[in-house]
Amino acid sequence: MKELSIHNLKQIDQYRWLLPRQGKMRTDGMLFLDRTLLEYIKNDKSITQVANVAWLPGIVGRSLAMPDMHQGYGFPIGGVAAFDPEKGVVSPGGVGYDINCGVRLLRSTLEKGEIASSIPELVESLFANIPTGVGSRQRHLKLNKQELKKVLESGAPWAVKKGFGIKDDLLHIEEGGSLDWADPGTVSDKALDRGQAQLGTLGSGNHFVEVGFVDKIFDRKLASGIGLFENQVTVIIHTGSRGLGHQVCGDYIRILQNASRKYGFDLPDRELCCAPINSPEGKKYLAAMAAAANFAFANRQIITEEVRQTFEQVLGTGRKKFGLDLVYDVCHNIAKYETHTVDGKPQEVVVHRKGATRAFPANHPKVPEAYRETGQPVLIPGDMGRYSYVLVGTEQGMHEAFGSTCHGAGRIMSRHAAKKFAKGHNVTAELAEMGVRVKGAGRATLVEEIPQAYKDVEDVVRVVHEAGLARKVARLRPMGVIKG
């Protein structure tokens, strides 16, 4: 397919750009961007990738891209697409290597001033208690394969049953922290080997644990409904399925490349390898993907308990004094069966979200009872030097974007470019001047994750809010961060 240039886009309004159906595209593309964010992606392949996704068989509605979009594998990061279960396909490129990379938010009963002096010790203790970095392994929780398969089958409920957290946590996780179509038998021995000692570990790259506070409230009623108040201490946990999920993706990319040829698919990009959803290959990928997603849910659940125990250790008090209740946990990289209104009628579809977040509105049956009146909390982390946001889903987002929104700020520098930019910079000292204590597994990680490597998440969230895909509730600022 001829490379699509930016000039094919038609501006619909300040925040919407239509990529008209052309060539072998089966549908239009829609990009949610303003002109500032559009400038960041003019020279990468993400717009072409939106068009490429629109080629895929059985796509329902438009091929969508969120305002944090940038070039990814197959799909753009920030890409969303839904497929008919009978006529459509499933693609690992629409989920990504870090299956169910996601984020969860904990809220405390503490105020910023109560722990300001404890931040250095909290950061050091969190780093000591939560294994971080490339290939990090859990020292105290190495499972045999039989037990690991129980994790893959159950997810976060397995962790709670083993004493990591409480049952109430499960009421505040997307899908209750468990995808019930998971089949550990579809996961390779190599993936199991990689996951055996990685449960309860943070990993590397952009994964982090951040102690922060509520810096600003945009909607007091919604914030109250979610349990947030100004200067409240919060904790964000961002990680995924670690080496196990990466191996599952790699295994099934090879399998689905063969399936693409077997089923005679005409694809614009081999990275969009796929199989019919109801084919043996498609069913096995979805079952293995769900197993890896359950591993990620359990991973974040165990880290949550490690965070709570660290607060007890450092503050010298029981958790009843500081809370750290789970607000919500959302997936970033996932494909799921969901029911959406298509052409005025309810239809089951398989929604791929690649670097995108589910954002369901108030009164949706999939929204936990605690948030039926507010809508699902939507968690949008930024870089480690600025801020993160809490939003809620909207009806407009349901109709226009399959209940989806952005997942973060979005990179504007490659890791190599970030290293080059940071030469001569003392990243730790510069962040300290900004009021953020940071500790990483090595200088390389901190350099790759410098704030300048990312778009300003405020710009991204503004587009989401003004376009009506989600509604701003609160802004959080970091005080202390550990990075992989």
Q: How far apart are CA 32 and CA 46, in angstroms?
A: 13
**pLDDT mean over 105-122:** 97
Altogether, the residues listed in the chain come to a count of 484
**pLDDT mean over 55-79:** 97
State the architecture of 6-483 in CATH terms.
Alpha-Beta Complex (3.90)
pLDDT at residue 1 is higher than 80? no
What's the pTM?
Answer: 0.95
Q: In the chain, helix, strand, coil percent, each to 5? A: 40, 25, 35
pLDDT at residue 277 is higher than 70? yes
pLDDT tens-digit series, residues 424-442: 788 888 888 888 899 987 7
- Quote the pLDDT of residue 172: 97
Question: 172, 407, 425, 465: which is the annotated catalytic residue?
Answer: 407
Tell me the pLDDT band of 204, cut-offs 50, 70 and 90. Answer: confident
Residues 6+ away with beta carbon under 8 Å from 221: none
- Quote the pLDDT of residue 477: 97
Q: How far apart are CA 99 and CA 364, in angstroms?
A: 25
Tell me the pLDDT band of 137, cut-offs 50, 70 and 90. Answer: low
**pLDDT mean over 101-126:** 97
Task: Share the mean pLDDT of the chain.
Answer: 93
Q: How far apart are CA 116 and CA 211, in angstroms?
A: 10
- Quote the pLDDT of residue 2: 45
CB-CB contact of 332 with 103 (8 Å): yes
Nearest one of 201, 186, 101 to 143, comparing CA atoms? 201
| CA of residue 69 relative to chain centroid, distance | 13
Among the ranges given (336-340, 397-401, 451-455), the one the predictor scored with the smallest mean pLDDT: 451-455
- Quote the pLDDT of residue 447: 82
Assigned token pair, 59:
């796509």
pLDDT tens-digit series, residues 302-325: 999 999 999 999 999 988 889 999
Q: How far apart are CA 441 and CA 309, in angstroms?
A: 21
pLDDT tens-digit series, residues 231-249: 999 999 999 999 999 999 9
Tell me the pLDDT band of 445, cut-offs 50, 70 and 90. Answer: confident
pLDDT tens-digit series, residues 398-422: 999 999 999 998 887 888 888 888 7
Tell me the pLDDT band of 136, cut-offs 50, 70 and 90. Answer: low
Q: Is 407 designated active site?
A: yes
pLDDT at residue 3 is higher than 60? no
Q: How far apart are CA 365 and CA 328, in angstroms?
A: 16
Assigned token pair, 258:
């063969």
